Amino acid sequence: MSNRAIIVEQGDITRMAVDAIVNAANQQMLGGGGVDGAIHRAAGPELLAACRAVPEVRPGVRCPVGSVRWTPAFRLPSRHVFHTVGPVWRGGGYGEPELLASCYRRCVELAVYMGVRTLAFPAISCGVYGYPLDQAAEVSVATLRNSLNDETPLDAVYLVAFGQDMYQAWLTALGD
């Protein structure tokens, strides 16, 4: 898959009729605000039940930072939800770029494993978790370019910005 199939859009990821959408979750995976709250509202209560069924790897942690967990998408137009947990921004010196990159990379790996052809990401960590938008845009685009090659059986990866600022940050990062 070449770079041209990384597509930036502005909109609501819960309306994306793709094979899988990515949720910017927290380690407990019991819902929250932001895109997590929007996805749970649109998916319906079955999503919370499916998240609860994901085993804890340690008390209070179903999905460690930088990892990914799968659930069905229930009432969403997509088929799958990939729950990933981005790093909380603490200034950049605590492994945040590597952890954010891991979120994007693990979701692509899971997509390839599951035969997903179209995948949509929100701007992981760029809301409550405070990651600077331009730095997150650079990390996400670089990671996707490294993870996607002509052998990757993905037709398209969408970067779905809710706000204009993230939309511009991703366009800038793609244009580099």
Q: Enumerate binding residues for ligand APR (CB under 6 A).
A: 12-14, 24-26, 32-38, 86, 122-129, 160, 162-163, 166
* Single-letter code of the amino acid located at 3: N
Instruction: Pick the catalytic residue from 36, 134, 165, 176.
Output: 36
Length of the chain: 176
Q: Which is nearer to ligand APR, 91 or 115 (CB)?
A: 91
152: phi then psi, degrees, rounded to nearest 5: -75, 120
Q: Is 36 a catalytic residue?
A: yes
Q: Which is nearer to ligand APR, 2 or 164 (CB)?
A: 164
CB 97 to ligand APR: min, Å: 15
Cβ distance 158 to 11 under 8 Å?
A: no
Neighbour tally for 151: CB within 10 Å? 7
CB 89 to ligand APR: min, Å: 9
Q: Which is nearer to ligand APR, 31 or 113 (CB)?
A: 31
CB 140 to ligand APR: min, Å: 11
Collect contacts of 139-143 with beta carbons under 8 A, ≥24 apart.
139/97, 139/100, 139/101, 139/104, 140/100, 140/101, 140/104, 140/170, 140/173, 141/6, 141/170, 141/173, 141/174, 141/176, 142/101, 142/173, 143/100, 143/101, 143/104, 143/105
Q: Which is nearer to ligand APR, 86 or 97 (CB)?
A: 86
CB 23 to ligand APR: min, Å: 8
Which residues are annotated as catalytic?
Answer: 36
